[in-house]
Amino acid sequence: MRTNMNALQAAALERVFAGMLRPAGLDPDGEGLYGANLHVDGGPDGLVWWYDDEPLSANGTLDGKGHGLVWLRRVGTVAGPTAV
């Protein structure tokens, strides 16, 4: 993954992986920001990201300060959004 993410966004996204995505069963290899299933669009002022894996996916937004929303999706189910 290559994007122009700032340090606050990167730290927030790592916290999302550690506290929410891995416990839910995503990112089992612990690759986090470097995982092939993570996609990011935007930059240091604001970005959207998504992590695709079956049967669970995650989406989120982060502003320049690392604040945003995260939501998890299972086939036929939506959980969230949750503020981070």
Residue 79 makes CB contacts below 8 A (sequence gap 6+) with 71, 72, 73
Contact between 14 and 32 under an 8 Å Cβ cutoff? The reply is yes
Q: For the chain, give the mean pLDDT.
A: 85
Tally of CB atoms within 10 A around 53: 15
What pLDDT score does 76 carry? Answer: 58
What does the DSSP assignment read for 45-79?
A: TEEEEEEE-SSEEEEEEEETTS-EEEEEEETTEEE
Query: 34-63, pLDDT tens digit by residue?
Result: 888 889 998 888 999 999 887 788 999 999
Residue 31 has pLDDT above 50, yes or no: yes
Name 25's Cβ contacts closer than 8 Å, sequence gap at least 6: 56
pLDDT greater at residue 1 or residue 69: 69
Identity (one letter) of the amino acid at 69? L
Q: Is the pTM of this model over 0.85?
A: no
